[in-house]
Amino acid sequence: MSSTEDDIAAPASMTASVSAAPTPAPAAQIAFHRLARLRPRYRWWRMLLTGLLAVVFYVALLLIVMVPVGVASVLVPEWGTELQTLLVTMEYFDLDRPWLLVALVLPLILMIPPLLLASRIVEGRGVGLLSSVAGRLRLGWLGKSLLLALAVFAVYFAVSLGISAATGSDIAPDFAHPNLWIMVLLVLLLIPFQAAAEEYVFRGYLMQLVGGWLRHPAFAILLPVPLFVLGHGYDVWGAASVGVFAIVAAWLCWRTGGLEAAISLHIVNNVLIFLFGSVGMVDANATSGTPIDLLGSTVAMVVYALLADRWARRLGVVRTAPAPIAASGGANGTHRLDVVFHG
């Protein structure tokens, strides 16, 4: 063979060698409920320890807040009477006593710092994975999902109140109470944090606790539901509505890769209930419901969830996190890329 032929044959041989090389497999993708396995110290028992330590921190924080309140109620008889009224009636929404709303939501808001601190201590870096696959709360998507939830639930409440008016119920708003605007301010300031706190505990921590053990998302979505329902003292229809809410919120976390859409749903639902309750259009202390209430709220939540899922896809909201890639030596001294995935 001539040298010219060798020059032509060599590139062909190289091309065949390159084409025979295996194509690298795409990196494994990890859904929201499995994110605990990306933490640097992951072991099957560490999230349990996180929960126990968070409870210890939470109790300590409550004592720091409640002991001065208890002392003040002893020193100021009027405060003691108000505290006793709260414990007896368990009605936290009262325009004559706006501070009762603070007593309701502040202990819930205080769940966030103990959980995040315990998670950092026990599981190491990556606390932001409790928020989303991006390792943080995605504020842009949170704002968009808030607007969507507001639009859907504005329609839902308008229809619901319209039906109530058509059936003879008195739903005329009353703006005359002197504490109305204090209550509105408290609702707007506190309820978003209360809603976020519950989502971090039930859809962040508990979903990832279950997801660390069981791969299928149905387990992470459904198993925490009874705990969420038990945290709300409603009758059977109200409890069913709370259960549907928990399932929809958890499904949204799995589908969108984070807490944002669930937090938006929680915020808008609670804020609207308390705002309408402030002007006497709904009973914000109600613990009972009807099958019609359950049907209406379920339709609103499902419509919101489907629209949020579709919008997230159109916006390119990231839904999964890539498993880390580690380099390791091959048998012939070359290097290959291995996907590190705790399956």
Residue 11 falls within a domain, yes or no? no
Establish if 10 belongs to a structural domain.
Answer: no
Helix (H) or strand (E) holding 328: strand 325-329
Q: Does some domain include residue 252?
A: yes
Residue stretches of the chain with pLDDT short of 70: 1-27, 86-91, 325-343
- How far, in Å, are 9, 174, 218, 247 from residue 254 at the CA level? 54, 41, 10, 11
Domain-embedded: residue 18: no
Structure confidence at residue 286 (pLDDT): 84
Question: How many domains in the chain?
Answer: 1
Residue 13 falls within a domain, yes or no? no
User: Whole domain around residue 299: which residue ranges?
Assistant: 27-339
- pLDDT, residue 335, reads 36
pLDDT tens sequence across 90-148: 667 888 888 889 988 999 999 999 999 999 999 999 999 999 999 999 999 999 999 99
What's the CA gap between 104 and 92, in Å, rounded? Answer: 6
Q: What is the pLDDT of residue 325?
A: 67
| Token pair of 66 as six digits | 């409640």
pLDDT, residue 322, reads 93
User: Is residue 228 in a domain?
Assistant: yes
Q: 25: closest CA among 334, 336, 257? A: 336
Cβ–Cβ under 8 Å, residues 248 and 224: no
DSSP lists the bridge partners of residue 321 as: 30
- Which pLDDT score is estimated for 80? 73
3-state SS record for 93-158: CCCCCCHHHHHHHHHHHCCHHHHHHHHHHHHCCCHHHHCECCCCCCHHHHHHHHHHHHHHHHHHHH
Instruction: Identify whether 118 is part of a domain.
Output: yes
Predicted TM-score (pTM) of this structure: 0.86
Does residue 20 form part of some domain?
no
Amino acid identity for residue 303 in this structure? V
